[in-house]
């Protein structure tokens, strides 16, 4: 965000579980981030939206000047989640690290987002993921800490059952989660239910284990990839997630 900081105005989703995550009743709350705008790990072909792991450049690929300006100056790790389309629930996540010679892609993974795609004006229950640049400060899950550098809260309250939009079982989705700092208090468990911007703007937006279908607003990654993120995201490197459909991120 450099010199441009603002609190995102948006929201997240309907209740999914008894304790939090993906727009539930016991979700996190807010932090300052950016102004919103209108399967297995693989190497991949260079496109306008990303670069293959190992390639470098001085700016994050696929981001327009407005989006790049919202990435904090001290950020050295960025997960860029690029949606296939404004109304699509499929996306691609690329993990970048900033080195002395520029941003280097470390991994590329398939990802899922909300059922109805993306929005720059998120409201609770709209089944869209918020567009923006968000810090990543806290993690947790039902399972024991796999070696997270972020503060990690283990709790049996990271529970979920039932089925998703594709009829897939949801159990295990919250075994590992990384809280996206949207409408939540940084420095608390992802289960913290306080929402400084109010319940109407949603909350509980997490990176969690992919359950095989669209989310209510979270980002879903395969279990090994969430575990890898937990191990490599370093608070000292001020990690962020940059998320949205390709056209919005290119502005």
Q: Which of the residues are catalytic?
A: 208, 218
Count of other CB atoms within 10 angstroms of residue 167 = 8
User: Which of 221, 236, 239, 247 lies closest to 110 in space, CA to CA?
Assistant: 221
Please give the sequence-ordered ranges of beta strands (E in DSSP) within 71-222, or none if there are none: 77-83, 90-99, 102-112, 118-119, 129-130, 132-141, 152-154, 177-180, 206-209, 219-221
Cα→Cα distances 213→97, 115, 138, 146, 204, Å: 28, 8, 24, 25, 18
In sequence order, the 6+-apart residues with CB closer than 8 A to the CB of 232 are 77, 95, 106, 149
Q: What is the Cα–Cα distance from 207 to 182, expressed in whole angstroms?
A: 12
Number of C-beta neighbours around residue 65 at 10 A: 9
The pair of three-digit structure tokens given for residue 136, joined into one six-digit string: 């990543």
Q: Which of 21, 14, 40, 13 is nearest to 172 (CA)?
A: 21
In the structure encoding, which two tokens stand for residue 46, read together?
């260079």
| Distance (Å, whole) CA 137 – CA 240 | 9
């Amino acid at each position: 965000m450099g010199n441009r900081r603002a609190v995102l105005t948006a929201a997240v989703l309907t209740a999914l579980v008894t304790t939090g995550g993906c727009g539930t009743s016991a979700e996190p709350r807010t932090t300052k981030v950016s102004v919103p705008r209108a399967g297995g790990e693989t190497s991949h072909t260079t496109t306008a939206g990303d670069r293959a792991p190992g390639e470098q450049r001085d700016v994050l690929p696929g981001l327009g000047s407005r989006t790049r300006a919202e990435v904090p100056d001290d950020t050295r790790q960025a997960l860029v989640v690029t949606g296939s389309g404004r109304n699509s629930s499929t996306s691609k996540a690329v993990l970048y690290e900033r080195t002395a010679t520029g941003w280097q892609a470390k991994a590329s993974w398939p990802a899922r987002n909300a059922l109805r795609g993306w929005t720059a004006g998120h409201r609770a229950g709209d089944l869209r993921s918020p567009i923006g640049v968000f810090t990543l400060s806290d993690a947790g899950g039902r399972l024991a800490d796999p070696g997270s550098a972020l503060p990690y809260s283990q709790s049996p309250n990271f529970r979920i059952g039932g089925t998703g939009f594709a009829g897939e079982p949801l159990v295990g989705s919250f075994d590992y989660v990384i809280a996206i700092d949207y409408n939540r208090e940084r420095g608390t468990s992802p289960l913290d239910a306080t929402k400084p911007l109010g319940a109407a703007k949603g909350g509980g937006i997490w990176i969690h284990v992919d359950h095989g279908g669209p989310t209510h607003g979270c980002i879903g990654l395969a279990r090994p990839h969430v575990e890898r993120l937990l191990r490599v995201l370093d608070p000292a490197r001020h990690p962020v997630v940059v998320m949205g459909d390709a056209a919005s991120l290119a502005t």
